[in-house]
Amino acid sequence: MRLKEENAYKNEVEKENGGRVRLKEECRCKGEVEKENERVTSQRLYSTMVSGAYQQKLVVGYALTSKKVKSFLQPKLEGLARNKGILFVAIDLHRPLSDQGPFDIVLHKLTGKEWRLILEDYGQRHPEVTVLDPPDAIQHVYNRQSMLQDVADLNLSDCYGKVGVPRQLVIKNDPLSIPDAVTRAGLTLPLVAKPLVVDGSAKSHELSLAYDQLSLSMLEPPLVLQEFVNHGGVLFKVFIVGETIKVVRRFSLPDVSKRELLNNAGVFQFPRVSTAAASADDADLDPGIAELPPRPLLEKLARELRRRLGLHLFNIDMIREHGTRDRFYVIDINYFPGYGKMPGYEHIFTDFLLGLVQSKQKRCPANNS
């Protein structure tokens, strides 16, 4: 923000805050109806002041970890947003959500039951605010079993390619039961072992590759055991922001040959791939491996998943089975992924936010005051 604008903004916020304190004090001695009127007037005043000065179109309250703020709220996003009349405001977790704002949109990625309950309650009290995304829909993709269920149900097999999920097995407790369970399920080695629940912790991203069945009893349930699919070491990260899809290539785990499988035993933890992996977009790769999945296939997949999952902000990690042209597997779905690494994300994201509010206004013109 330029200095002049910054000062003007500070003055307005101070005026507004002063007004609110006075309002609060006055409210103590007035009737309930009057109190409510004061509150609405104060909210209108806030919107008018901010919108008058900056042609503000919408206020986005955000509740994100500091890591996410750093990777997502980059100056290029905040700058462009400001020019388009979008203001990002940090939500204060120590104060009631309803006392903050008013917000048009609440953008969030925090874990924990307490936060979920706060958001659910807020969503019910403030149906006029768009909460991105609904807590129960997010919860569904925080479990590695349920996250892939919708892809399996979709059964996409005739749309310029086939999309499935690797065969997998959930182990809830007893590690000693794993070798037998794997035999009964008929899973083929090697297997990728993934913690069942993704909770934003580093531990929930500690994955291992198991070469033999017996060593599987060394693993720590609850987990998902997933067949490893050779894919030539390249992964497609399909970013979804509302109706927009953007695909990037990332380096991934290399193929495991039959010989390697025969000559190895044990369970090997591998480093977190998504944060370590470099972009493979500019690498000189075998086109059979690096060719992007067909656009109509991605469009159908994204459209269906958006609807079934009830999410606007997510990504799909997809691999192509090595040696095939059109056999794809979805191996991971992430809520609100690292958009900061998506080329042009600042344009995509700001357009998305504006579009959301416009479509809401079209649906409910009464709220346009």
Ligand X SMILES: O=P(O)(O)O[C@H]1[C@H](OP(=O)(O)O)[C@@H](OP(=O)(O)O)[C@@H](O)[C@@H](O)[C@@H]1OP(=O)(O)O
Ligand Y SMILES: Nc1ncnc2c1ncn2[C@@H]1O[C@H](COP(=O)(O)OP(=O)(O)OP(=O)(O)O)[C@@H](O)[C@H]1O
Binding interface with ligand X (CB under 6 A)? 65, 67-68, 71, 109, 198, 200, 274, 315, 334, 336-338, 340-341
Q: Residue 287: phi, psi to the nearest 5?
A: -60, -30
Residue 274 sits in the site that holds ligand Y (CB under 6 A): yes
Nearer to ligand Y (CB atom), residue 104 or residue 332: 332
Interface residue with ligand Y among 182, 192, 245, 280 (CB under 6 A) is: 192
Interface residue with ligand Y among 82, 205, 322, 347 (CB under 6 A) is: 205
Cβ atoms 315, 240 nearer than 8 A: yes
Smallest distance from ligand X to CB 119, Å? 16
Rounded to whole angstroms, the Cα distance separating 344 from 355 reads 17
190 binds, among Mg ion, ligand Y, ligand X, none (CB under 5 to 8 A by kind): none
Kindly indicate which of the ranges 77-85, 89-97, 227-235, 360-368 contains the residues binding ligand Y, using the contact rule CB under 6 A. 227-235
Task: Say what the alpha-carbon torsion angle 275, 278, 280, 285 is, to the nearest 10 degrees.
Answer: -120
Residue 261 sits in the site that holds ligand Y (CB under 6 A): no
Q: Binding site for ATP, residues? A: 144, 194, 226-237, 252
Q: Which residues contact 194 (CB under 8 A, 6 or more apart)?
A: 144, 207, 223, 224, 226
Interface residue with ligand Y among 42, 252, 330, 356 (CB under 6 A) is: 252
Q: Which residues contact 59 (CB under 8 A, 6 or more apart)?
A: 47, 50, 86, 87, 89, 101, 102, 103, 104, 105
Nearer to ligand X (CB atom), residue 88 or residue 211: 88
Nearer to Mg ion (CB atom), residue 161 or residue 337: 337
Smallest distance from ligand Y to CB 252, Å? 3
Cβ atoms 74, 349 nearer than 8 A: no
- CA–CA–CA angle 164, 269, 329 (5° rounding): 10
Interface residue with ligand Y among 27, 196, 253, 261 (CB under 6 A) is: 253
200 binds, among ligand Y, Mg ion, ligand X, none (CB under 5 to 8 A by kind): ligand X
228 binds, among ligand Y, ligand X, Mg ion, none (CB under 5 to 8 A by kind): ligand Y
226 binds, among Mg ion, ligand Y, ligand X, none (CB under 5 to 8 A by kind): ligand Y
359 to each of 84, 170, 292, how far by Cα in Å? 17, 41, 31
Residue number of the CB closest to ligand X reads 338
Site string for Mg ion, 327-346 (x = CB under 5 A): -----x-x------------
Nearer to Mg ion (CB atom), residue 57 or residue 246: 246
Residue 331 sits in the site that holds ligand Y (CB under 6 A): yes
| Residues of span 306-325 touching Mg ion by CB under 5 A | 317
Q: Is the backbone peptide bond immediately before 102 cis, with ω within 30 degrees of 0? A: yes
Q: Binding site for Mg(2+), residues? A: 317, 332, 334
Residue 135 sits in the site that holds ligand Y (CB under 6 A): no
Nearer to ligand Y (CB atom), residue 12 or residue 212: 212
Smallest distance from ligand X to CB 54, Å? 28
**Rule CB under 5 A: which residues touch Mg ion?**
317, 332, 334
Binding site for ligand Y (CB under 6 A): 166, 192, 194, 205, 207, 226, 228-229, 231, 235, 252-253, 272-274, 317, 319, 331-332, 334
